[in-house]
């Protein structure tokens, strides 16, 4: 696929560039609680502005269901983007309507316009090719060139990700190119020992990636809510912990397959439990063989966290996706913190697989520069590691 460097060498002065960005940031009302994804697109926007392009930026926020909803407006994002760019960012209150058309027509070289939430238009996510195509036609009419820098959306067959690229000369932004390079390094002859740390709530969300990784990794460490389904597969009682009963047999098969392939699959030996899911719940450390029937596990225990850190100490390549516990609650964040710090202290090529993992790194103040790469796309990263073809990347192929 062609990259931004190729576009810049061709020249963009006097041209309008449609940039698909991933600005799907968490909001508390109108306050952005984590601007990591906005920061991630700054290098591409800055490079294009510096080369004299007029930028029409488009993005989504949340799942408004194809209709305008004030709580999903990108207006707060436009304000923050303006601050970070240190340059005014115009904001259109619609996607391809009269306000957007007028704003695009008035755009001059070096200026930046952000369109309202793409998902306010049903054509963005439509399963109907014609409806999606009509919306893509309207977006493509705003520009001469298309740049996709929204890695967190490349696994979606959406109008702004897939269909627009077929209508305009298309290029990968700096972020997308960097993400793809990192994922190729993880999948094409990674330096060993290659260790993957998986957490998060559900096993079912990661079935395909586990299946695909079992013949590629040396060690697989399992934490988070998904660990309890694996523990159940080992015969442990899990109290009121998150459990996917319909996946217990599949986890049992994974355990057997890992043993057969010589993959070291490491499960927690202790857990931090509480009587309820709450920040002020009283934490109690118990062995995984002694989880009380009226308690739920909300973090891996200290012995497990140390065991995970030991496994990471000599790793040469590490991919981490999913927190080890409910890191938003201080009493249940230590497992995630220890794993994150172990990665920072290691000499491994370490990749944080976006989503909640990236949010945990920032929330727990683990040094971001201690990792080789922090992805902006958890779902996209996982699907790439599953071996799937990602529509947004396929659309950028030369």
Is 152 annotated to bind ligand?
no
Is 297 annotated to bind ligand?
yes
Is 253 annotated to bind ligand?
no
Per the CB < 8 A criterion, the answer to whether 162 and 153 are in contact is no
Is 65 annotated to bind ligand?
no
- Among 89, 154, 97, CA closest to 396: 154
* Torsion angle defined by CA atoms of residues 27, 283, 202 and 250, in that order, rounded to the nearest 10 degrees: 170
Per the CB < 8 A criterion, the answer to whether 66 and 125 are in contact is yes
Is 29 annotated to bind ligand?
no
Is 24 annotated to bind ligand?
yes
Could you give the CA distance from residue 255 to residue 337 in angstroms, rounded to a whole number? 26
Is 357 annotated to bind ligand?
yes
Per the CB < 8 A criterion, the answer to whether 65 and 71 are in contact is no
Prior bond of 105 cis (ω within 30°): no
Is 60 annotated to bind ligand?
yes
Could you give the CA distance from residue 176 to residue 154 in angstroms, rounded to a whole number? 9
Q: What is the DSSP string of 237-302?
A: --TTS---GGGHHHHHHHHHHHHHHT-EEE--SEEEEESSSSTTSPPEEEEGGG--TT-EEEEE-H
β-bridge partners, 273: 284, 297
**The tokens of 47 are what?**
């490079």
Q: Can you tell me which residue has the tokens 């436009």? A: 78
Could you give the CA distance from residue 36 to residue 18 in angstroms, rounded to a whole number? 21
Could you give the CA distance from residue 227 to residue 224 in angstroms, rounded to a whole number? 6
Is 237 annotated to bind ligand?
no
Is 204 annotated to bind ligand?
no
Is 355 annotated to bind ligand?
yes
Per the CB < 8 A criterion, the answer to whether 1 and 47 are in contact is no
Could you give the CA distance from residue 358 to residue 40 in angstroms, rounded to a whole number? 12
- Give catalytic residue positions: 37, 202, 355, 379
Is 267 annotated to bind ligand?
no
Prior bond of 329 cis (ω within 30°): no
- Among 183, 172, 182, CA closest to 394: 172
Q: CB-based contacts of 22: which residues, under 8 Å, 6+ apart? A: 37, 40, 41, 59, 149, 150, 151, 152, 153, 376, 377
Is 119 annotated to bind ligand?
yes
Per the CB < 8 A criterion, the answer to whether 4 and 172 are in contact is yes
Q: Which residues are annotated as a binding site?
A: 22-24, 37, 60-63, 119, 156, 206, 297, 328, 354-357
Q: Which residues are annotated as a binding site for ATP?
A: 206, 297, 328, 354-357
Q: Which residues are annotated as a binding site for (2R)-3-phosphoglycerate?
A: 37, 119, 156
Q: Which residues are annotated as a binding site for substrate?
A: 22-24, 37, 60-63, 119, 156
């Amino acid at each position: 696929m062609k990259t931004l460097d190729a576009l810049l060498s061709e020249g963009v002065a006097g041209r309008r560039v449609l940039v698909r960005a991933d600005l799907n940031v968490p909001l508390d009302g109108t306050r952005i609680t984590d601007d990591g994804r906005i920061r991630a697109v700054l290098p591409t926007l800055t490079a294009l502005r510096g080369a004299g392009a007029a930028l029409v930026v488009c993005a989504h926020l949340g799942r408004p269901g194809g209709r305008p909803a004030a709580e999903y407006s990108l207006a707060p994002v436009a304000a923050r983007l303006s601050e970070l760019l240190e340059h005014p960012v115009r904001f259109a209150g619609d996607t391809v309507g009269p306000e957007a058309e007028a704003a695009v027509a008035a755009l001059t070289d070096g200026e930046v316009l952000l369109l309202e939430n793409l998902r306010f238009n049903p054509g963005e996510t439509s399963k109907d090719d014609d409806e999606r195509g009509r919306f893509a036609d309207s977006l493509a009419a705003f520009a001469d060139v298309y740049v996709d820098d929204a890695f967190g959306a490349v696994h979606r067959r959406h109008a702004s990700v897939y269909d627009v690229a077929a209508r305009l000369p298309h290029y990968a932004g700096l972020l997308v190119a960097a993400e793809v390079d990192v994922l190729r390094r993880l999948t094409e002859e990674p330096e060993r020992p290659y260790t993957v740390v998986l957490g998060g709530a559900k096993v079912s969300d990661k079935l395909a990636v586990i299946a695909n990784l079992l013949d590629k990794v040396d060690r697989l460490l399992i934490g988070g809510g998904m660990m309890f389904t694996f523990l159940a597969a080992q015969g442990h009682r899990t109290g009121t912990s998150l459990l996917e009963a319909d996946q217990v047999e599949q986890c049992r098969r994974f355990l057997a397959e890992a043993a057969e392939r010589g993959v070291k699959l490491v499960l927690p030996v202790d857990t931090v439990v509480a009587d309820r899911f709450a920040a002020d719940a009283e934490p109690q450390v118990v062995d995984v063989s002694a989880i009380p029937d009226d308690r739920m596990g909300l973090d891996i225990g200290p012995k497990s966290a140390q065991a995970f850190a030991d496994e990471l100490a000599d790793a040469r390549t590490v991919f981490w996706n999913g927190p080890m516990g409910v890191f938003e609650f201080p009493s249940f964040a230590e497992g995630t913190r220890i794993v994150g710090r172990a990665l920072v202290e290691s000499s491994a090529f370490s990749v944080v697989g976006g989503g909640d993992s990236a949010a945990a790194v920032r929330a727990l103040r683990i040094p971001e520069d201690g990792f080789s790469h922090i992805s902006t796309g958890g779902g996209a990263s996982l699907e790439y590691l599953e071996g799937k073809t990602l529509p947004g990347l396929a659309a950028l192929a030369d």
